[in-house]
Amino acid sequence: MKLSRPLVSLMGVFALALLFILLVANSGLGLTGGCVGIVRVSGDMSYEKAGIFGGGGVTAQEISDQIAKANGDENVKAIFIEINSGGGSAAAGKEIYDAIAASEKPTVAYLEEMAASGGYYAASATDYIIANPNAITGNIGARMEIVNYEGLFEKLGISTETIKRGEMKDIGNPARNMTPEERALLQQIIDESYMNFRQDLEEGRKGKLTAEYEKSKDARILSPRMALGMGLIDEIANRERALNKTRELGGVEGTEICDMAPPKTWANVLSELGASIGSGIAASASNGGAQLNYK
C-alpha cells in the first residue's frame, strides 16, 4: 500500500510535534513560571541508609544530591525543605547543613511534627524557617551513648579479655566501666562537636537571634513560640504558607512543585533491605556502638 504525499507530510509534522512536546515535558520548559523544588529530610540522618527494617531515614548524600539537582535545574526557582527529624549522626548533620547553606537558590525550611537537634541544624542553614504551630524543635546539643554490661556480666559469671596496644584503644568497651581519663576525653570530643553545631547555627541565623537564645544552650526542647522568641525561627504557620513564602522568595508564578527525590524502584527496596540487614550485623559485632549524635 502506497501512502499519498499529503498523508506522509502530515504524519511527519505530527511526529515532530510529539517529539517537541516530549522534549518540553522532560526539560521543564513548559513550566514558564518555574517551580518550587521539594526536598524532604525525614527520619534519622545518617551516612548509610538504615533500610526498611531500620526505620528509613535519609543520608547526607541523598540530601546533597537533591540540593545539587535543584540548583542545576533552571526551572527550580527556590527550594522548600520539609523537615520531620529528631536528628542523627553528627557528621551527616554537618554535611546536610553545608549542602543547604551552599545552595545557589532561596531556601525555606518547614518544620513539621519534629525538627529537633540535627533536624533543626538542617533548618538553620536555610534563608527562612517556618514551623507548624504544634512542632517540636530545639534540643540543640551533642551526645554519645555507651552501653555498660559489666554489672550484668558479673552476675552471669561472664568475663572478657582485651589484648591491646594503647591505653585507650578499647575506649567504650561495654564489658567494663569507663576510666575518668576516658570520660574526660569523650567529654572533650562532645564539647568540640557541640561548639561546631552552635557556630554553624549562629552563622545561619546571623542577625536574627535574641537574648532569649541563651536559654537554648542547655539543649532543652522548644515549642514554636519559644523558638520564635529566641530568633531560632521566623514564623509560625502551616505548610501552605511556607510554600507561598518559598514561591515569594523565588519569584515563582503559579503553584508548580518539582520533587527532587528520585522515584522508588524495586532495586532501591532490595538495596535498603540488604543495607538494613548488614547494618544490624555490624552493630551487633561492634564493641559498644558509640556514635556521636545530634539527636
Percent of the chain at pLDDT > 70 equals: 77
Instruction: Determine the distance from the C-alpha atom of residue 40 to the mean position of all C-alpha atoms in its chain, rounded to a whole number.
Output: 7
Q: How much is the pLDDT for 12?
A: 54
Give domain status of residue 71, yes or no: yes
In a domain, 155, yes or no: yes
Look at residue 215 and tell me if it is in a domain: yes
Tell me what pLDDT residue 178 has.
92
Residues with Cβ < 8 Å from 121, sequence gap 6 or more? 87, 93, 94, 96, 97, 140, 197, 200, 201, 294
Q: Is residue 28 part of a domain?
A: no
Q: What is the pTM of this model?
A: 0.79
The model's confidence at residue 15, banded by pLDDT at 50, 70 and 90, is low
Within-domain flag for 178: yes
Query: What pLDDT score does 6 carry?
Result: 53
Domain with 266, as residue range(s), is 35-294
**Phi then psi dihedrals of residue 87, to 5 deg:** 105, -155
- Provide the pLDDT for residue 263: 81
User: Is 254 a domain residue?
Assistant: yes
**Does residue 66 sit within a domain?**
yes
Q: Which positions are annotated as active-site residues?
A: 117, 169
Residues 6+ apart with CB under 8 A from 263: none
* pLDDT tens figures, 204-262: 999 999 999 999 999 999 999 999 999 999 999 999 999 999 999 999 999 999 999 98
Q: pLDDT digits over 97-117, tens only?
A: 999 999 999 999 999 999 999
69 is written with which cell numbers? 539537582
Indicate which CATH number applies to the domain containing 54: 3.90.226.10
Helices (H), the chain: 5-27, 60-72, 90-101, 118-123, 150-156, 180-204, 224-230, 239-250, 266-285
Domain count for the chain: 1
The pLDDT of residue 165 is above 50: yes
Answer yes or no: is 49 within a domain.
yes
pLDDT digits (tens, 9 = 90+) for 80-90: 999 999 999 99
The phi and psi torsions of 100 (rounded to 5 degrees) equal -70, -45
Q: How far apart are CA 49 and CA 274, in angstroms?
A: 10
pLDDT in tens, 136-164: 999 999 999 899 998 898 889 898 888 99
Most confident of the following: 29-38, 51-60, 155-164: 155-164
Mean pLDDT value across the chain: 85
Give per-residue pLDDT as tens, 64-77. 999 999 999 999 99
